[in-house]
Amino acid sequence: MIIAIDGPAGAGKSTVGKRTARKLGFLYIDTGAMYRALTLKAIEQGISVNDEPAIIRMAENTVIDLINKEDGSLAVMLDSRDVSKEIRQPRITQLVSDIAKIKEVRRIMVCLQRKLGKQKNSVLDGRDIGTVVFPDADRKFYVDADFKERVRRRFEELKETGQAITFEEVEADLHNRDTIDSTRAVAPLKRADDAIYLDTTKMSIDEVIEAILTRIKNG
């Protein structure tokens, strides 16, 4: 069974996806983490995100894996190195949308996402899961929230991990990513026609998970 969870940055997809997968005993696949891992590698190798041929060559020669750990966390492996923490840094967040808009990069990532998702029952979260990666997913959700609320959630999350960033910086970043992610030519963020829309602005994480589990059970 494939469960697709799409939506904009800061809507709570990863927390919801991870915990929903755990409750169901499914694999959790954070597709945003894959684009983030590629972004980290580009920065480390000094490759500009605007140098598309070099980015594509790099992506072709990169091994990304996601490991669901016993404690419920997800290890993001970049060429066998655990980069789970590094990929959440603002320097990655600022550039990731530019990497994710490259057509050939998406082709490589989508291929990997399909391979991972077909291994066993999975919950995938991203921007194009229900529209492109698994258009035949068994259940599709589009998780949304008001812009200010998404900024607040992302800001709290970053504060908790000890990152020095202001509310205004988070606001500018989300605005920038919303624009790039939803206007890019290839697989833009878009609600699939058959996705269940959840406005989570006034919902707690537990309520969102409950709403998703209920809809999965009830078909």
Residues forming contacts to ligand DC in the complex (CB under 6 A) are 9, 31-32, 35-36, 96-97, 100, 126-128, 177, 181
Minimum CB separation from ligand DC for residue 14, in Å?
6
Which CB sits closer to ligand DC, 169 or 219?
A: 169
Minimum CB separation from ligand DC for residue 91, in Å?
13
> 27: closest CA among 117, 126, 113?
117
Distance CA 48, CA 142 (A): 32
Which CB sits closer to ligand DC, 4 or 209?
A: 4
Minimum CB separation from ligand DC for residue 32, in Å?
3
Spatial CB neighbours of 111, under 8 Å, sequence gap ≥ 6: none
Which CB sits closer to ligand DC, 35 or 142?
A: 35
User: Do the beta carbons of residue 131 and residue 187 sit within 8 Å?
Assistant: yes
Which CB sits closer to ligand DC, 20 or 31?
A: 31
Minimum CB separation from ligand DC for residue 42, in Å?
13
- Tokens for 210, please give them: 């409950």
Which CB sits closer to ligand DC, 81 or 175?
A: 175
Minimum CB separation from ligand DC for residue 219, in Å?
25
